[in-house]
Structure 1
């Protein structure tokens, strides 16, 4: 059981694993879909969706705090180079003035600190395959479920409105 729930520091946690057990209830919140933002002149940008294999050997700029996606991209993209950035502002500057690919998800659009690169030099593409999707669960202590369920319901409703694919060939996040 996550320590933050047992000592009541948090009312809920978000995970990529169903932690339902005697003291916890996990509910699927929604699916997070991984996208890659490519320089429009890369050959992969001509595809409507790409596979992890299509991205092999490329260099990416990546926000360091991307949760489970860090392991996914590290394992699934062969011979890739990842330049991790600790700060959102540094990430924004590098993506604005370079042609390095970078990752977003359908949840990125809801992040108020995200500032997309102008669409004239990037295209956002879905990544194909089951590893490019993560089910996100919200987990609460059983004894607090009634108290937090209205918030969980609002989160589920908001998640249901998120896109599951790029809305056009251009970056829309």
Structure 2
């Protein structure tokens, strides 16, 4: 059981694992879809969707704090190089003035701090395969479920409105 729930520091946690047990209830919130934003001149940019294998050998700029996705891309993309950035502002600058590919998801579509790279520089493509999707669960203590369920319901409703495929030509990409 996550310590933050047991000592009541948090009312809920988000995980990629169903933690349902005697004291916890996990509910699927939705599926997070991984996208890659490619320089429009890369051969992979001509495909509507790419596989992890298609991305082998490329160098990517990546936000350091991307949760479970860090393990996924590290394991699934052979011979890739990842230049991890701690700060979003640094990430924004690098993606704006370089051709390095970077990853986004459907979940951060509503993130007000995201500043998309102009569409003429990048195209956003889906990544094919089950490893490019993560089911996200919201987990609460059983004794607090009634209290937090209205918020969980609002989160599920908002999630249902998120895109599941890349948006128009890379103009609304996510970091």
Establish whether TM, by shorter chain, passes 0.5: yes
Give runs of aligned pairs for residues 17-32 of structure 1, distance below 5 A.
Answer: 17-32=17-32
Deviation at 1:158, TM superposition (A): 0.2
Question: 2: distance between equivalents of 1:152 and 1:108?
Answer: 18
**Which segment drifts farther, 107-116 or 42-51?**
107-116
The answer to whether the 8 Å contact 2:106/2:163 transfers is yes
Q: Deviations over 1:83-102 (max 9, x none)?
A: 00000000000000000000
Q: Deviations over 1:138-166 (max 9, x none)?
A: 00000000000000000000000000001
Name the count of aligned residue pairs: 170
Is there any run of 5+ residues in structure 2 with no aligned partner, and where? 169-173
The answer to whether the 8 Å contact 2:32/2:107 transfers is yes
Deviation at 1:114, TM superposition (A): 1.0
Deviation at 1:167, TM superposition (A): 2.7
Question: 2: distance between equivalents of 1:103 and 1:167?
Answer: 14
Deviation at 1:123, TM superposition (A): 0.1
Structure 2 residue matching 1:11: 3-state secondary structure: coil
Question: 2: distance between equivalents of 1:120 and 1:131?
Answer: 29
Deviation at 1:112, TM superposition (A): 1.5
**Which segment drifts farther, 109-118 or 80-89?**
109-118
Structure 2 residue matching 1:165: 3-state secondary structure: coil
Give runs of aligned pairs for residues 13-162 of structure 1, distance below 5 A.
Answer: 13-162=13-162
Deviation at 1:111, TM superposition (A): 1.4
**Which segment drifts farther, 37-46 or 102-111?**
102-111
TM-score by length of 2: 0.96
Q: CA RMSD in A?
A: 1.0
Question: 2: distance between equivalents of 1:93 and 1:66?
Answer: 18
Deviation at 1:119, TM superposition (A): 0.5
Question: 2: distance between equivalents of 1:103 and 1:129?
Answer: 15
Deviation at 1:109, TM superposition (A): 1.1
Deviation at 1:108, TM superposition (A): 2.0
